[in-house]
A and B are shown apart, each in its own frame.
Chain A
Amino acid sequence: MTALAAIRVRLGRLLREDGLSFFGLIMLVLLVLLGLVGPYLPIGDPTRIGAGPRLSPPSWVFPFGTDELGRSYLPRVVEGIRATFLLSVVAVVITAVIGTMLGMLAGYFRGFSDHLVARGADILFAFPAIIVGLLVAAVVGPGQISAIAVISIATIPLFIRVVRSVTLGVSGRGFVTAAEVAGASSGRVMLVHILPNITGAVVVQLTYAMSIGIIIESALSYLGLGVQPPQASLGSLLREGSAYLTIAPWLVLSAGAVLSVAIMSVNLVGDAVRDGLEPLKGRLLT
């Protein structure tokens, strides 16, 4: 059975047997769907000022209440989900591609390129994401591009380290040596023999990186370094709401609750994927 098929089977069984992961998957799917179709839902315009009274508590018309400009908060939260997820996904996918490539090169060729890439990853890993965020924002200015850059810098060491170490393992296997002896080029060895055998590890790192990405995006937007007004993300909504915490707590509560659910569901699904890939963990004998 190939690794991907194994994930599918294991994941399927785990989700059926493990209610918590199943709940996480449902929530994640709901959030992603909400983000995707949000702009077409009849819940109001997230940017319309004075749609209702200022800072009004949740009601039938405004389920999440309204903010200090009288904008309906529900469409703003949906817009926030969309922005946060989109940014994190784009950033993490770009990072995964670059990180996997670098990790594979380092693990396969070893030697000098290995030292260069591995030490580079260590250096990036040593910087706290928020400090990097301030630096990047100072250089390119706050906005989506700098948010993506910061998420990439913070999560790329995850991919490089893990991909490098699994590549080291796969490179030592017989089929790689056999291909080398047959005269296959390094590119062919990496694409045909190594990459398909490390996808499992990459998928696991993707789920880690995804939850880190969401947290970083929210933190940056909260600090005003990410998404810029009038656009909303879950982080920037938290910031706007926090100014009125005492008189309109529903703003922070609704954005905060959605953010927590988002991070939790990504982690739950990630755990299920990891467990699916390591079915032998905890066994006495194999």
Chain B
Amino acid sequence: MSTPVVELEGIVVTYRTGLLGGEGFDAVRDVSLSIGEGETVGLVGESGSGKTTLGRVCLGLQRPTKGTMRFGGDPFGGLRQRRGQLSIVLQHPEWALNPRLRCGASVEEPLLVLGVGSGERKQRVAAMLDNVGLDAGFVSRYPGQLSGGQRQRVAIARALVTQPRFIVFDEAVSALDVSVQAQVLNLIADLQKEHGFGALFISHDLAATRYLSHRIAVMYKGEIVEDAPSETFYGTPDHPYSRALMSAIA
């Protein structure tokens, strides 16, 4: 087995309340997690369980208070240094894209930041939009003219355009209708088979997570209480909290 794309070891994130420190609050307590190439790890838990914070740690947006994080076996370094290798797809389709930029410009931005030449940029944007099932006309459209599902497709195109090694999906399908949700879930699964990125799929929806993930980590009060293959979650998981989550979809 090759080195994992993302490796977390003993991660602790403490938020300090107040200006001068004072009482600390551990959002993430001693979490270890690794995500391999071409693997989707689901991260489920209630709001406030620390799953979004953990996602931010994986992307280098949040510096852990304690613990080490490696990216492809090396220390993480800075975000500038990792550009093109990471990306994110977020909830809220209405805010996923800058409403003042045409969709083409949104998808193009990661390439621009990476310093790819103009001709190649246009070509890769067109190819990527095609890849997520949108025709070339979307390049010149504004997000306001798109449906929720289309916007989420554009956001996925933007996330994939640099062929990153790791993508975080943070509640990426939660705001979508059932029928559109299935389209986007299938799209993510297909693109992963094609491009082989590692993914962290953060959601409070166990059903969607279970469908997409190879492995599921259940987070409760800042700790991972269960980390098991997703097949386990079609049967009976071990931890009582996992079983409480299951009750909502049984």
Contact = CB atoms under 8 A, between A and B. Distances in A.
Nearest to B93: A174
A197 interface: yes
A174 B109 contact: no
A196 B100 CA distance: 7
A181 interface: yes
B61 A184 contact: no
A193 B167 CA distance: 21
A179 interface: yes
A183 interface: yes
Interface in A163-188: 173-175, 177-185, 188
A172 to B, nearest CB: 8
B98 interface: yes
B82 interface: yes
A175 B98 contact: yes
B79 A183 contact: yes
B176 to A, nearest CB: 14
Contact of A182 (B87, B91, B100, B168): B87
A185 B81 CA distance: 11
A192 interface: yes
Contacts of A173: 92, 95
A2 B144 contact: yes
Contacts of B159: 178
A182 B98 contact: no
A182 B162 contact: yes
A180 B144 contact: no
Interface residues of A, number: 20
Contacts of B91: 174
Instruction: Pick the most buried of A174, A181, A188: most chain B CB atoms within 10 A of its CB.
Output: A181
A3 to B, nearest CB: 8
A109 to B, nearest CB: 14
Given A2-B144, A174-B155, A181 B87 contact: yes
A139 interface: no
Nearest to B19: A115
Interface in A48-75: none
A2 B90 contact: no
A196 B91 CA distance: 22
A188 B95 contact: no
Pick the 3 closest A-B CB pairs, nearest first.
A183-B83, A174-B90, A173-B95
Interface of B: 59, 61, 79-80, 82-84, 86-92, 95-101, 106, 109-110, 113-114, 142, 144, 155, 158-159, 162, 168
Interface of A: 1-3, 173-175, 177-185, 188, 192-193, 196-197
